[in-house]
Amino acid sequence: MESLLFGDKLVSMPYSAYGSVVSEDEAPEEAIDLLLESVRDLADSLEVDFVSLRGRELGDPPGFEKENRFVTFSIPLTVDRDDIWENVKESRQRQITQASESSLQYRVGDSVEDLREYYRLYLATMRGHGTPPHSFRFFRILWNRFFERGDLRLGLVEKNGKLVNGILDLASGSTVYQWGVISDYDHRDLNGGSLALWKSLERSYEDGYDTYEMGRTREGSGVYMFKKSWGGEKVWFDDYHYFPGGKAELPNPDDEKYDRVKDVWKRLPLKATELIGPPIRRNIDL
């Protein structure tokens, strides 16, 4: 991935919490070492700023540095439904109850038109963050490959027929992973985001999954505090980095040096962000 803002890098996997080496449990350590050696050779030949391998403990491989920069919260779903509810912070429970009893309606998205509706609010949400969006084609590829299998799960919260919150989850094995949360800032006081997440938990529990993971988050952020209130186990991601040209600074979107760029992006028309955003976003691995 090549980015003027965030440098040139090799990433496994971009746009996701996990990646790194894939191996059988009984694979010998030498096999993993050979894979990592090939990664170092490729990075050296491409002269990238760094390599990032996400979410798996690898021990102490030569040339790589382990860092715990992100966390997730893992919520067990094998307990009783009432136990899942009781683990949610009381103030969050009140928000869910108030949202359920208000004029909000939750439904499961099950069509490409629902995905388009999600994407329209996604564009506004990303602009509000000062962040370039993925293209609709990106989401459509995910939909085509995973929806019929039940591995892409779309939840929508509406007020009088207008989408105000959405959540996109991806399932793999026995776990559901939170991936894309969107919201209408003008309706944030309705607590539709809390309702959407609770419905995702309920649905994952009813469908027999073992775990719900809350996504990749920086400790101490506002999003971190929101996710913490749901009562899951805090789990650090084991990320490994290799720097071919010597230690380099890893990108941090919260760095003040990006503030001006974000401010400019927030002022762009939505149509402009939809047109010029995806070519930029595809080279940002966050």
- Residue 5: what pLDDT? 77
3 state SS for the chain? CEECCCEEEEEECCCCCCCCCCCCCCCCHHHHHHHHHHHHHHHHHHCCCEEEECCCCCCCCCCEEEECCCEEEEEECCCCHHHHHHCCCHHHHHHHHHHHCCCEEEEEECCHHHHHHHHHHHHHHHHHHCCCCCCHHHHHHHHHHHCCCCCEEEEEEEECCEEEEEEEEEEECCEEEEEEEEECHHHHHHCHHHHHHHHHHHHHHHCCCCEEECCCECCCCHHHHHHHCCCCEEEECCEEEECCCCCCCCCCCCCHHHHHHHHHHHCCCHHHHHHHHHHHHCCCCC
- Residue 177: what pLDDT? 97
pLDDT by residue for the chain (286 residues), tens only, comes to 998 878 899 999 999 989 999 999 888 989 999 999 999 999 999 999 999 999 999 999 999 999 999 999 999 999 999 999 999 999 999 999 999 999 899 999 999 999 999 999 999 999 999 999 999 999 999 999 999 999 999 999 999 999 999 999 999 999 999 999 999 999 989 999 999 999 999 999 999 999 999 999 999 888 999 999 999 999 999 999 999 988 888 888 778 888 899 999 999 999 999 999 999 999 988 7
Which CATH homologous superfamily contains domain 71-236? Gcn5-related N-acetyltransferase (GNAT) (3.40.630.30)
- Which residue ranges make up each domain of the chain? 2-69+238-250, 71-236
